[in-house]
A and B are shown apart, each in its own frame.
Chain A
Amino acid sequence: MGVFLILRKEAMIGDGVAHTAFGGIALGLLLGISPILTALGVSIFAVAGIHYMRAKGIATSDSAIAVILATGFSGGLIIVSLAGGFTVELFSYLFGSILTIDATDLLVVSVLGLVTLVFLGVFYKELLSMTFDEGGSRLMGIPVGPLSLAFSILVASTIVLSIKAVGIVLVVALLVLPGLSALQLRLSFRGTTAAAIVFGILSMVLGVLLSAIYDVATSGVIVFLAAAIFALTAIYKRLG
């Protein structure tokens, strides 16, 4: 998923969604309902907004993302100050805390993971084709609009559900770094995707283990490892 996101030059959409999700989480905490659910709702609304602005020519991709990001985050800030606090809980969403994940979260994440995998598996060639050449793909009869909206919604959901693990601030890194590392290897598309998945899992598993052993922040270790892998692959590319 990260590979597609980078190639579509939409890596920042992740950041936009994550910040918007902050607004959603604040809203959820305020109303006393599941913050993940409100964050999901707000984020999906946000990507739909980005798509709408782009399709109507109101704003280009990056400025549309900036607008949405600012709106969501400032909305969150207003809600937080209105409610006068709940900083502790909010803090856990900002920086992530893998230990707060409960059985329900795990179930939701698994289901979503499966949906994402199936979606990418089924529409693999269409997504790839339109990533490479959107206009040409439209000419060939690929439903570019609906597919890219569906893709963005899945990205939004993935981000929101990863927030509990690594937090709003670092979630984009987790999505983008493995893909970016894999791209350094100059493989075919199939190879790149496989490498990205391996890198992602590697930094997750190692990160959890190392943080448990040395008792440091899990999210920090995971993203730091992902960045280290990126540095190594980048060096490999220069040498290769």
Chain B
Amino acid sequence: MNDAGKAVVEARGLFVSRSNQLVIEDANFTITEGDYVGIVGPNGGGKTTLLLAILGVLPTDRGEIRLFGEPLQRFRNWELVAYVSQDATSFDSDFPLSVRELVAFGRVNRSNIGRRLRQEDWKAVDDVLETVGMSGLSAHRIGQLSGGQKQRVFVAKALVRNPKILFLDEPVTGVDAVSQEKFYRILSDINLSKGITICTVSHDLTAVFCRMSKVMCVSREVNIADVSDLKEPGEFLKKAYGEHFRFAFHRHECEGVFGNG
């Protein structure tokens, strides 16, 4: 990706703790506009913690985070930022809500509190459902959806706000390989066609190296690299997953696995 692009997220000397345990140590990285970042690392390595710190939900111990050039403490343009949490799709399946009603939540914000959603809000909802390929199911109850459909609906809910950056926390756990690949393809399309910066936690290393522009490895330390610069992805990942970790990756595999790579 283009390194001359505008910095969207910057971290300098960042330390974050959770329950008095240091989880992120001295993180330094920059995510630029238009990046598609795969966040990888072992369980408990601090991926979610790092995201929550960037979102200002968790306090930081030391260091600085900047969003769109603005220090986090002073950042107010939260409508530019969208986030799908790890447990977004584990809701009460009896909750009486249609897909369309759920996605419309994404249009609720500070500026329209106490007002009805307008025609253009509903149009945005329908457009974004189209983008994620869920228009046909917009009147369905959310409890009836499959795992893969739920993810796409929650991404739609995040996207309907027209964010500049989208954070996803492991949105494909427990979904079959075909749906998962479809999901990453939709994200690629959104990244390319709308220019939305995407940072997604992922355990699917092949998808990260085939689809995404940057890989961020989080296990207390945070390392980030351009996927195209990495000659030895396995070596890069060893820092996080340990010496005995093996990840053989060859670029030509992407075409075999993903068809249109």
Partner of A140, one of B78, B85, B139: B78
Interface string of B160-195 (1 = CB under 8 A from A): 010000000000000000000000000000000000
- Judge if B209 is at the interface, Cβ distance under 8 Å: no
A139 touches B96 (CB 8 A): no
Give the size of the chain A interface in residues (CB under 8 angstroms): 27
Binary contact readout A129-150 vs B (1 if CB under 8 angstroms, 0 otherwise): 1001101110111110000000
- Which among A3, A7, A128, A140 has the greatest number of chain B C-beta atoms within 10 A? A140
Across the interface, which residues of B come within 8 angstroms of A135, CB to CB? 85
B108 touches A129 (CB 8 A): yes
Select B105's contact among A123, A125, A191, beta carbons within 8 Å.
A125
Chain B interface extent, by class: 20 to 34
Say if the beta carbon of B83 comes within 8 Å of chain A: yes
Tell me whether B109 and A125 are in contact (CB under 8 A). no
Q: Once the chains bind, are B96 and A189 in contact (CB under 8 Å)?
A: yes
Residues of A within 8 A of B110 (CB): 140-142
CB distance from A49 to the nearest CB of B (A): 26
B117 interface residue per 8 A CB criterion = yes
Do the beta carbons of B108 and A187 come within 8 Å of each other?
Answer: no
Q: What residues on B are CB-neighbors of A190 within 8 Å? A: 101
B141 proximal to A (CB < 8 A): yes
Minimum CB–CB distance for B88 against chain A, Å: 8
Say if the beta carbon of B104 comes within 8 Å of chain A. Answer: yes
Instruction: Please indicate the chain A residues that have their CB under 8 angstroms from the CB of B92 in the complex.
Output: 7
In Å, the complex CA distance between A13 and B117 comes to 30
A173 contacts chain B at the CB level, 8 A cutoff: no
Contact, CB under 8 Å: B83 / A132: no
B248 interface contact, C-beta 8 A: no
Measured between alpha carbons, how far is A128 from B97 in the docked complex, in Å?
10
Bound-state Cα–Cα, A123 to B115, Å = 7
In the assembled complex, the Cα of A128 lies from the Cα of B100 at a distance in Å of 13
What's the Cα separation between A132 and B96 when bound, in Å? 10
In the complex, which residues of chain A have a beta carbon less than 8 angstroms from the beta carbon of B95? 7, 132
Tell me the A91-143 residues at the B interface (CB within 8 Å). Answer: 122-123, 125-126, 128-129, 132-133, 135-137, 139-143
B101 touches A142 (CB 8 A): no
Contact indicator per residue, chain B 92-129, by CB within 8 Å of chain A (1) or not (0)? 10111110011011001110011011000000000000
Q: Is the interface of B mostly helix, strand, loop or mixed?
A: loop
Knowing A139-B55, A141-B109 touch, does A125 contact B104 (C-beta < 8 A)?
A: yes
**A window 173-226: CB within 8 A of B:** 182-183, 186-192
Cβ–Cβ contact B55 & A132, under 8 A: no
- Cα A107 to Cα B47 with chains together (Å): 57
Q: Which residues of B contact A187 (CB under 8 A)?
A: 96
Q: Do A132 and B78 touch (CB < 8 A)? A: no
Let me know if A189 and B97 touch, CB within 8 A.
yes
Question: B91: which A residues are within 8 A, CB to CB?
Answer: 132-133
Q: Which residues of A contact B161 (CB under 8 A)?
A: 140
CB distance from A138 to the nearest CB of B (A): 9
- B141/A123 in contact, CB under 8 A: no
Measured between beta carbons, the chain B residues less than 8 angstroms from A129 are 105, 108
Taking a contact as CB atoms under 8 Å apart, the answer to whether A142 and B94 are in contact is no
Q: Are A186 and B141 in contact (CB under 8 A)?
A: yes
Check if A122 sits within 8 Å of B114, measured CB to CB.
Answer: yes
Are B109 and A183 within 8 A (Cβ)? no
- Quick check: is B4 within 8 A (CB to CB) of the other chain? no
A142 to B113, CA, bound (A): 7
Q: With A136-B85, A140-B78, A189-B98 as given contacts, are A128 and B109 in contact (CB-CB < 8 Å)? A: no
CB nearest neighbor in B for A129:
B105
B226 to chain A, nearest CB (A): 30
CA–CA, A129 to B161, complex, Å?
A: 14
Chain B residue nearest in CB terms to A143: B113
Please indicate the chain B residues that have their CB under 8 angstroms from the CB of A188 in the complex: 96-98, 101, 139, 141
- Report A-chain residues with C-beta under 8 Å of the C-beta of B85: 135-136
Interface residues of B (CB under 8 A from A): 55, 57, 78, 83, 85, 88, 91-92, 94-98, 101-102, 104-105, 108-110, 113-114, 116-117, 139, 141, 143, 161
Q: Could you list some 29 contacts between A and B, CB below 8 A? A: A3-B96, A7-B95, A122-B114, A123-B113, A123-B114, A125-B104, A125-B108, A125-B116, A125-B117, A128-B101, A132-B91, A132-B95, A132-B97, A132-B102, A132-B105, A133-B91, A136-B85, A137-B105, A139-B78, A140-B109, A141-B110, A142-B108, A142-B109, A183-B96, A188-B139, A189-B98, A190-B101, A191-B96, A192-B96
